[in-house]
Structure 1
Amino acid sequence: MHGRRVFVLGMGRSGLVAAQALVAGGADVLCWDDGETGRQRAEEAGLSCSDPLRGGLEGVDMLITSPGIAHLYPKPHPAIGMAMQLGIPLDNDIGLFFRSFATQSWTGFDMAPKVIAVTGSNGKSTTSALIHHLLEVAGRRSQLAGNIGRGVLDLQPAEDGDVIVLELSSYQLELARSLTPDIAVFTNLSPDHLDRHAGYGGYFAAKRRLFAEGCPDVAVIGVDEPEGQYLATQFSDHTHDDRVIRVVSGQKPKGNNWQVTARKGFLAESRKGRQIASIDLRDIPGLPGAHNHQNASAAYAVLRALNVAPRVIEEGLRSFAGLPHRSQMIGEISGVRFVNDSKATNVDAALKALSAFDNIRWICGGLQKEGGLSALQPALGHVQKAYVIGREAEAFAMQLDVDCEVCTTMQAAVRAAYAQSQPGDVVLLAPAAASFDQYDSFETRGEDFIAQVGAIKGT
């Protein structure tokens, strides 16, 4: 990018880091954020801001946009629309990363660095963090970035044998001009962000780009849904193609492919119809429930593709502490456990959280996504009562076929759930909705849950 004029739109974490990386690479960089706070952040970092709608795109060679800014659906941001009319190429920080990752210094390495990219609707954060943890346990130097942790252009330059683990959302994948991971992971697919992708097909198409555009050496694909099955067959040349590792949940392995299955609390690896390894996941505290067993299976498959022994992987699985806001055990008060799964922002994630526990006092609600709540029905037998929060709590509660109490606030919900609990119950925050009606993020919502539990402990 040396000597080229580049416009960076959006001064959040990834946009700010991208602009700074471009400056360091010798580009002439202009920036903009629709919010005053973002522009102030850029100016404090020594970057120049210019309104793109007032001549800011003059002479620009490329526009780099942040993931949260719509470039096509439901409608393009005005600056992006103008850039496309002017024929200015679009990219994002993920595309820049893949285009600049390999350097001349690699010619002297004994082992070329690798990139593992993880996508899917649910579980991609836990799977990415777990892969990173397993690599460290196995003695492989690793960095974690993307939709989790650091911005990709904030990573340290790769050294001999390094592994980069990236969590990539559909927003990041749909626009990146370059996608070249060594190993690509597809966890699962369920409806999410449908307005941004103009429907379910567009959402899947964004995820599929990681494989169709990237052509990874190995693809680890969850095949519980038809889309995953389709993706696996598209990537395979024949039934014994070891470039594809299928991840199966809740079923016995079928066929003679390379498969990793999670069933009844056990992880099993099979190749050519023969089981070659098995791990009991039932007593691993950092990976509770079938959904986390699926995450463990995907991470296991990646490590096996890197020739790490099953016993080493098992050691890493047992020492994994889990991620905040993902089936996070907060503590226990008088025999009642409190679990924070604020990251369960859609119905499918909430369904998996509800399926992981019994005797649940369920805190749910928030900014509801498309599709309704009927898909939660199979797990409602685990729920003793729901405590609904959010500005539209009454409307949310009316859709649930379970005893409900409209609480609106987190404080009221936590106090009511605990007051009505018996020893052995689980107070579970699994909202099945976005947080933005009351909170800035799912993290803030989860932290409020933790604070309210802490207040009960202190009484």
Structure 2
Amino acid sequence: MIPVTCFEGQTVAVFGLGGSGLASCHALKAGGAEVVAGDDSAERLAQAAKAGFITADLRSVSWENFAALILTPGVPLTHPAPHWTVEMAHKAGVEVIGDVELFCRERRRHAPSAPFVAITGTNGKSTTTALTAHLMREAGFDVQMGGNIGTAILSLEPPAARRVHVIEMSSYQIDLTPSLDPSVGILLNVTEDHIDRHGSIENYAEVKERLVVGVQRGGTAIIGVDDDFSAKAARNTELAGKHVVTVSVQRRLEDGVFLEGETIVRGAAGGMAKLADLHGIGSLRGRHNAQNAACAASAALALGVPFDVMQRGLRSFPGLAHRMEQVGRKGDVLFVNDSKGTNADAAGRALSSFNDIYWIAGGKPKSGGIESLREFFPRIRKAYLIGEAAQEFSKTLEGVPQEISGTLDEAVPHAARDAEAAGGQAVVLLSPACASFDQFPNFEVRGDHFRKLVMALSGIAPVKP
């Protein structure tokens, strides 16, 4: 845990008592603050009270003595309307911040030069965070990984010289971190998302940009420039006087990092230099993962990781569960769990990474369906459609061999049978382009069930990184 000392002797309100909120309560108390905890859930309030915190309906208390409101990221700060706690805080002149802001203040107080990598982007955040953490571990650092990827930041160990914090940040978290100042900041990409919470894509992009513009002096901002919003963020970060490393997987950069075949290359005034070779790294297959790898490798190099250690780390990276996860192999047939592919854009990234695909798709449909994936249909040898979207997807896939499997329990053995019978290299790919909620509580449970079904097939060998 990281004791938060910046509010020692003061009273702080915390609203939202999930993982990060409760961690904030413990960290503030450990640092000498008095905490008044609030939540809309009676169960969470009871848990906080049992843990020894003062709990209250924050509507009925005086805000005059609060030094700050620590808000959980899931609670609206601005759109579609500020939460009532935010309005009460503003009326009382109380600052509204989040748990990452508390971390930043403690780092500046006690270990301002401790390495801190903050990572954001619409897509690829979790893989890039996990890969960066993996590379730093390979280099012998004490790595503390958390934030949006899982562990609340204040539940990690405190900042220290050879301890690097690798933190995934959503736009909600950035919005609550006004003094965000990582030593390395990564902005992968910006595409339309979370408009309900930010009002417009322009507002959303501006929030994302803050992470890299805020990089501390002497630090490094690593920015993917393959979309207009991120390219603008790169220009603004340079204008702010920060060191910027631009990354593209779509074009050659004379001064930046780019992809040439399966090689990550750094272009500079002195010529071109090979940074890393991705050939044969199954956990980093696909152009989107090349971007993740280029950004993670650039971050590791900025923190002093040697080239050979970085390359070894890329090769040993196991990948993340449910994200292009190589589950098993039966002869020439590879089974891939991409249950996190919950929309067409994400599924397109998976489909673009393989040929001869036996595609398992469907679930609770999202707007737009899979019409945007037509360019990948020639790669699909057969589709196995499940869940509520099966009939709709079947119409879109007219002309592509297919069956309405209904469930994963039917789709997996049928796809395995057909892929094996066809002979040659093939991939059985679960990348549903749908939410899971019609048949599973979440994408993790869906992916776990796929993995279980695959490993129950005869002759399956697990894939090692």
Number of matched pairs: 449
Kept in 1, the 8 Å contact 2:359–2:384? The answer is: yes
| Alpha carbons of structure 1 residues 5 and 418: separation in structure 2 relative to 1, 3 Å | same
The structural deviation recorded for 1:85 is 4.1
Farther off after superposition, 378-387 or 150-159: 378-387
The Cα shift of 1:298 comes to 0.7
Q: Please state whether the residue corresponding to 1:83 is helix, strand or coil.
A: helix
Distance 1:101 1:242, change over 3 A: closer
The separation in 2 between residues aligned to 1:445 and 1:56, in whole angstroms, is 46
Contact between 1:361 and 1:386, CA under 8 Å: does it hold in 2?
A: yes
1:236 paired residue number: 238
1:357 counterpart residue number: 354
1:283 deviates by: 1.0
In the TM superposition, what whole-angstrom CA distance separates every residue of 1:265-312 from its partner, at most 9, and x where no partner exists? 111122116112253311123322222222111111112222333222
Q: Match for 1:329 among 323, 326, 331?
A: 326
After TM superposition, the structure 1 = structure 2 runs for residues 61-210 of structure 1, keeping only pairs within 5 Å, are 61-104=67-110, 106=111, 112-210=113-211
Distance 2:158 2:177 in 1: 20
Q: 1:184: Cα distance to partner?
A: 0.6
Whole-angstrom CA distance in 2 between matches of 1:54 and 1:4? 19
| Cα separation, 2, equivalents of 1:397 and 1:4 | 61
**Residue in structure 2 matching 1:418, options 409, 416, 419:** 416
Selected match of 2:34 from 9, 28, 33: 28
Worse-superposed segment, 129-138 or 187-196: 187-196
Write the distance in 1 (CA, Å) between the matches of 2:76 and 2:242.
37
Would the aligned equivalents of 1:387 and 1:406 in 2 still touch at CA under 8 Å? Answer: yes
Once the two structures are TM-superposed, the CA of residue 231 in structure 1 deviates from its matched residue by 1.5
Distance 1:353 1:175 in 2: 33
Question: 1:452: which partner in 2?
Answer: 453
CA 1:203 to 1:373, structure 2 compared with 1: closer, same or farther past 3 Å? Answer: farther
Which of residues 257, 264, 272 is equivalent to 2:261? 264
What residue identity is the alignment partner of 2:227? E
Q: Aligned equivalents of 2:380 and 2:181: distance in 1?
A: 44
Residues 143-192 of structure 1, C-alpha deviation per residue, up to 9 Å, x if partnerless?
21111242111121222232211111112112223201111101122222
Contact map agreement 1:190 1:348 (CA 8 A) in 2: no
SS in 1 for 2:381: strand
Contact 1:365 1:396 (8 Å CA) reproduced: yes
- The answer for the alignment partner of 1:387 in structure 2 is 384
Distance across 2 between alignment mates of 1:90 and 1:237? 28
Q: Partner residue of 2:253?
A: 254
SS in 1 for 2:108: coil
- Residue type matched to 2:119 in 1? V
Between stretches 183-192 and 72-81, larger displacement belongs to 72-81
Unaligned runs of 5+ in 2: 1-6, 461-465
User: 1:340, 1:429 within 8 Å by CA — same for their partners in 2?
Assistant: yes
User: Taking structure 1 as reference, are residues 408 and 35 closer, same or farther at Cα in structure 2, changes over 3 Å only?
Assistant: farther
Q: What are the within-5 Å matches in structure 2 for residues 281-430 of structure 1?
A: 281-333=278-330, 335-369=332-366, 373-395=370-392, 397-399=394-396, 402=400, 404-422=402-420, 423=423, 424-430=425-431
Unmatched 5+ stretches in structure 1? none
What fraction of aligned residue pairs are identical, expressed as a percent? Answer: 39
Asked if structure 1 preserves the Cα contact closer than 8 Å seen for 2:328 and 2:455, the reply is no
- Is this contact kept in 2: 1:250–1:263, CA < 8 A? no
Q: 1:351 to 1:41 in 2, by over 3 A?
A: farther
Whether contact under 8 Å (2:213, 2:236) holds in the other structure is: no
Query: Helix, strand or coil for the counterpart of 1:296?
Result: helix
Aligned to 1:203, the other structure's residue is in SS state: helix
Alpha-carbon separation, structure 1, partners of 2:13 and 2:242 = 42
What TM-score do you get using the length of structure 1 for normalisation?
Answer: 0.88
Q: 2:463 maps to which residue? A: none
What is the TM-score with the length of structure 2 in the denominator?
Answer: 0.87
d(CA) in 1 for partners of 2:245, 2:301 = 10
Q: Does 1:53 align with 2:59?
A: yes
SS at match of 1:61: strand
Moved over 6 A (4+): none
Amino acid at match of 2:146: A
Do 2:223 and 2:234's aligned partners in 1 also have CA atoms closer than 8 Å? yes
**CA distance 1:191–1:380, change in 2 (3 Å):** farther
Partner of 1:223: 225
| C-alpha distance in 2 between matches for 1:378 and 1:332 | 27
Paired position in structure 2 for 1:38: 44
